[in-house]
Amino acid sequence: MELRERFLRAAEALRRAEVLVITSGAGMGVDSGLPDFRGDSGFWKAYPPYERLGITFVGAANPAHFEKDPAFGWGFYGHRTNLYRATVPHAGFGIIRAWIERYGLDHFVVTSNVDGQFQKAGFAEDRILEVHGSIHHLQCTKPCTMAVWENRETIPVDESTMRAGHIPRCIHCGDVARPNILMFGDYGWISGRTARQQRNFDEFLTEVRGRRAVVVELGAGTAIPTIRYLTEEVGSLHQAVAIRINPREAQIGAPHISLACGALEGLAGIKSCLE
């Protein structure tokens, strides 16, 4: 089946929809210029100093750094904080918002990304589930309390060494703070904020049960398949159709729709058919 025909099928599903669930992985940010860290080579291309040190993404995204060498831990996460703050969400975010408004769709966003791009693009905070947390919120490294607070820190980073020139501190005890993100081998993540978002999503699914739903999955890979599993779970509901947009791993069984392209190309292709 030609890609154009698949765009037409996806557009027809959206025309009939009453509910829209957006599920998003790292590929959603690629069109905004963000790295997706696909494989060690992809990570090292984005962060050459780590290749010289022989450190992979898993090694860099390790909570132990905040205890042993917080300047090194914050080198990676401070750089990412600055990058995400500076990034402008691509046009695909606006396409989705226009569909929601045009068709009066009840909607929810579920993302494994920690970059806050959906909020920046104007999606409502109470309609977003960030399954791995957010870089824009902090917690104590110990942790001394279960508190989570907004990240308002300025974190300069020496990109030749990937070490931070400022270490954020816990607002309660003064110890080192860390991003409220679920990292690899992480037993200290405070999940309360994400748990509240999860409850909002569960209530949403209960409220829209039985209505015609479309799930649009954007750039979610198979390495950590949390988002793909969720797409298929929601897509299995009565009258639901899932649209998987992925340039390399778009496969999904009928009656769902596979679009082998990038996030922005896929959204723009569906938009052209709707118009």
Domain boundaries, the chain: 3-274
Q: Is 261 annotated as a binding residue?
A: no
Active site members = 132
Number of H helices, E strands in the chain: 12, 11
Q: Is 140 annotated as a binding residue?
A: yes
Q: Can you name the CATH fold of 3-274?
A: Rossmann fold (3.40.50)
Q: Is the pTM of this model over 0.75?
A: yes
Q: Is 173 annotated as a binding residue?
A: yes
pLDDT, one tens digit per residue, over 234-262 is 999 888 999 999 999 999 998 999 999 99
pLDDT grade, residue 42 (50/70/90)?
A: confident
pLDDT, one tens digit per residue, over 212-232 is 999 999 999 888 899 999 999
Q: What percent of the chain has pLDDT over 90?
A: 87
**What are the angstrom distances between the C-alpha of 130 and each of 31, 112, 115, 170, 274?**
20, 6, 9, 22, 29
